[in-house]
Amino acid sequence: MKKILFLVGILGFLATSCTDNREDGYMPSKVYMIKSGVQEYASTSDQTSAVATAWATKSGLLGASCVVTYSVDAQYLTSYNEANGSEYELLPESCYTIEQTSFSLSPDDLNAKFFVTYYPLKIYELCGSYNSPEKYALPIRMDVEGLESLEDRTHVLMTFNISAPN
C-alpha cells in the first residue's frame, strides 16, 4: 500500500510539475509596420532604379506564425488626402515594380521585408520638376493572417523626392 501511495504521489508531482506556466500573462504577438505614415525616399533622376522598403515586425515573446501580405491601397491615399488636406496622386504602375507581396513568418521569424523598385527618371518626368515629393505617392497596406495587427500601423505612404543628377 505504501508503494502505491508513493507511486501516486510521484505521478501527481510529475503531472503538475510538467505544466508550463512561463508564458502566462504575456500579451499575444502582434504585427505592425516599423515605418508607417508618410515615408520619403530620395534619389536622383540619373539613377536607373532605386529601392523603397517597408517591413512588418512581429512583437511579443510568444512564438506564432502568420502570413503578411502587402498591397497598393488607393482608398488609403484618398482618405489620407481628405484627412490632411493634401493632393497626392497615385504613382502610376509604370513608375515602379513589386516582385513579392506575400511572406510567411514562422514562429522564429521577426520581419517580413517588402521592396518596391521605383524608377526616378520616370517620376521626374511625371512631375516636370525636381524635388516634388508632394506630387505622387504609393500607398502600401499590410494585411496579416494568423495574428492580430496594430491597426494604426498597417499603412505606409511612400513619397519620392527626385533631385538633379550629382
* DSSP character at residue 3: H
Whole-number pLDDT of residue 6? 62
Q: Where are the alpha helices (DSSP H) in the chain?
A: 2-17, 74-84, 120-127
CA triple 103-106-110, angle to 5 deg:
80
Across the range 58-82, mean pLDDT stands at 90
Class of the CATH-defined domain 29-163: mainly beta
| pLDDT per residue as tens digits for the range 93-147 | 999 999 999 999 998 888 999 999 999 999 999 998 899 888 999 999 999 999 9
Confidence of residue 3 (pLDDT cuts 50, 70, 90): low
Nearest CA to 45 among 132, 137, 139, 158? 132
Residue 94 has a CB neighbour count (10 Å cut-off) of 10
- Percent helix, strand and coil across the chain, each rounded to 5? 25, 40, 35
Taking the domains of the chain in order of start, what are their residue ranges?
29-163
Burial 24-39 (b: 16+ CB within 10 A, else e): eeeeebbbbbeebebb
Q: What pLDDT digit, counting tens, does each position of 12-42 carry?
A: 655 555 555 545 555 678 899 988 899 999 9
Mean pLDDT of the region 60-82: 90
Average predicted confidence (pLDDT) for the chain? 87
